[in-house]
Structure formats: C-alpha cells, structure tokens
Amino acid sequence: MSERHLVLGATGRIGSLVVRELSDRGLAVAGLVRDAQRAAPMWPSEVMPVIGEFDAPASIVSAMQGVDVAFISSPVHPEMAAWQCHAVQAAADAGVRRIVKLSGSAWTMVEGRMTTVGAAHAQVEATMRAVQKSGGPECICIRPNAFLQGILGRIGTELSNGDTFSLGIGPARVAFADIRDIAAACAHAMAARSTPQTIEVTGPEALGGEEIAGLLVQMLGKPIRYKPLDISEAMARARAGGADDFTLRHQTEVLTVLREGVGEKVSPDFQSVLGRAPRTVQSYLAEVISKVGGTC
C-alpha cells in the first residue's frame, strides 16, 4: 500500500507548494486545512483535505492517525512552538515514520543571539531530536534563508510605478532562497529513501540592493535606483500591509541581524541533496518583469 503524506500549513506559501510537489511525484497526499473550500483551488484535485486547527490539539492528534510521513509548518505566531511541539508529539504517538519540519533560518537560531521566532524553532527542533532519540520518527529540519519572494515580493509593483525599488536590508547582501526550492527540498526530504537530518536552503549567491539594481539595469536597459529603507520605514510599510504586532517585532529582529550580513552565507546543501543548483535572483527578476510586461 502507498505511504500517506500529511502536510500541515498546507495552504501557506511553502506548504501549498509542498502539496503540489508531492502530488506531482504521484504520492498520496493530504493537507490539513481550516477551510476546505479555500484550499480546493490551490491543490490538485486528488489531494485530500483533512479539517484541523493548531488551536484544537485533538484535531491534530486525529489528523496524524494512519500517516506515514508528516510535514510541519505554521505561520510566525506567538504559539508556534507550542503548536509545533504538540504536532511532533502527536505524530510520534501515532507511529508516523518521518517528520519534516520547515524551520527557521540558521542564523536566527545561533546560541546566545537567537531571534524570538528562531528560539521557538530551536525549541521544536529540540523536541524532534528528543522523540527521535527515544525511538520515535526520523526527524528532518529544513532551514531556509530569507524567502526571495518575501523580501523582493514588492519589486514588480514598485517598478510598475517608477524606477526605484526599496528594501529594508540596508547595504547587506543576502543569499535569498526561492520558495519553490525550499518546497522542493521539503518534498524531497519527505519522499527520499534517505536524507540529511538538516538541510539549509539558500540561493546560489548573496546579492545586495545595489547588485539587484545593477541586474535590473541590464535587464530593462534603463536606470533603476535602489532606495535602502531604515527599519522604521520598513515596519511602517509592513504595518500598512496589515502586519500584526508580533509579526512587526519578528520582522524588526530579522532585519536588524540581516543588516549585519548574517544572511550572506551560501549553503551547498541544496545542490548536494537535490542534484541541481538553486534558482537565482536573476531568474526570479526575469519572471517578475515578464509578468508586469511593458509597464516597467
């Protein structure tokens, strides 16, 4: 009988792509959802919705029954560690064979200088190590660098409206990770016969705002300006976009350390595990430009 894969956070940026990757591999996939109607258009029709909610722990216990491989992801939230530790324990109690967790960026979990969310991820990773050590599921952590489509997500709109784009990373370089590569690493870790216990996903090179502007000048054949935002400007923009207080605090902590250059490191893990190079910022920019077309 084919193994059953369950994805938590299955309508999220990474989770929805993991669902698709697993389904494309012909694997049996179920996605935990709060609202099956919202999920339906995001997934291939053969993916099974399982109704559940992190705030209802019994629903997570029930969702894990009969599952062989579980993927755990949840949003940045004050309860993230409690939600995910419960999901790990529920998976172990249900006899799940392997758990793959979408974790934090490695640099948010450095002993002595963890961010708030990095500390929550570290707590979940410690719970995973403990259940594995006591004979429970094999546990694998995917540690992505800053999401390319997160920090550079507004660039298309900004270039449609002018010749300037702005980022909150100051002059720092970041080896941005494309969300499709992160999802590919997660799906691979779920489906492969064997895999390293930790996979760091980064882009193939670290780029800063000025270098990204240089790429855009070449691609568009016109002057493009990078405007570094200070953190308060970046947070004002995030607040206007609807970010709550916890998210704003998280983003402030992340930008503060990113501006020190912690996101520059390029990891060889993606190439060695997936057997291909990770996507480049340039290829992402080419997609953005082709979507906004002649307006930029």
Ligand X SMILES: NC(=O)c1ccc[n+]([C@@H]2O[C@H](COP(=O)([O-])OP(=O)(O)OC[C@H]3O[C@@H](n4cnc5c(N)ncnc54)[C@H](OP(=O)(O)O)[C@@H]3O)[C@@H](O)[C@H]2O)c1
Q: Is 115 in the site for ligand X (CB under 6 A)?
A: no
Q: How far out from the chain centre does Cα 224 lie?
A: 29
Per rule CB under 6 A, count of chain residues that contact ligand X? 24
- Closest to ligand X by CB, 12 or 137: 12
The sheet carrying 69-72 orders its strands as: 48-51, 28-33, 4-7, 69-72, 98-102, 138-144, 198-201
What's the Cα-to-Cα distance from 13 to each of 8, 20, 48, 96, 265, rounded to whole Å? 12, 12, 18, 24, 23
> In the set 73, 89, 132, 247, which binds ligand X (CB under 6 A)?
73
Q: Is 57 in the site for ligand X (CB under 6 A)?
A: no
Contacts of residue 228, Cβ cutoff 8 Å, sequence gap at least 6:
166, 167, 168, 169, 170, 171, 209
- Closest to ligand X by CB, 91 or 296: 91
Q: Is 74 in the site for ligand X (CB under 6 A)?
A: yes
In this structure, is the dihedral angle defined by the CA atoms of residues 272, 275, 280 and 284, taken in order, positive or negative? negative
Q: Is 76 in the site for ligand X (CB under 6 A)?
A: yes
Q: Is 234 in the site for ligand X (CB under 6 A)?
A: no
Beta strands in the chain (DSSP E): 4-7, 28-33, 48-51, 69-72, 98-102, 138-144, 164-167, 198-201, 225-228
Contacts of residue 193, Cβ cutoff 8 Å, sequence gap at least 6:
none
277 DSSP 8-state letter: P
- Closest to ligand X by CB, 10 or 273: 10
> Per CB under 6 A, which region of 7-15, 43-51, 258-266, 277-285 contacts ligand X?
7-15
Whole-angstrom Cα distance, residue 228 to residue 4? 46
User: Least CB distance from residue 60 to ligand X, whole Å?
Assistant: 8
> Per CB under 6 A, which region of 70-78, 190-198, 206-214, 223-231 contacts ligand X?
70-78
- Closest to ligand X by CB, 104 or 296: 104
> In the set 91, 102, 174, 285, which binds ligand X (CB under 6 A)?
102
Shortest CA distance to 70 belongs to which of 157, 109, 128? Answer: 128
Q: Is 104 in the site for ligand X (CB under 6 A)?
A: yes
Q: How far apart are the first and last CA of the chain?
A: 52
Residue the block writes with tokens 């855009």: 216
Q: Is 15 in the site for ligand X (CB under 6 A)?
A: yes
Largest CA distance in the chain: 60
Q: Is 150 in the site for ligand X (CB under 6 A)?
A: yes
User: Least CB distance from residue 122 to ligand X, whole Å?
Assistant: 11
What's the Cα-to-Cα distance from 225 to each of 46, 106, 133, 155, 210, rounded to whole Å? 46, 31, 52, 12, 8
Q: Is 175 in the site for ligand X (CB under 6 A)?
A: no
User: Least CB distance from residue 283 to ligand X, whole Å?
Assistant: 18
- Closest to ligand X by CB, 96 or 224: 96
Q: Is 147 in the site for ligand X (CB under 6 A)?
A: yes
User: Least CB distance from residue 295 to ligand X, whole Å?
Assistant: 27
Q: Is 296 in the site for ligand X (CB under 6 A)?
A: no
- Closest to ligand X by CB, 17 or 296: 17
- Closest to ligand X by CB, 136 or 144: 144
Q: Which residues bind ligand X (CB under 6 A)?
A: 9-15, 34-35, 53-55, 73-76, 102, 104-105, 117, 144, 146-147, 150
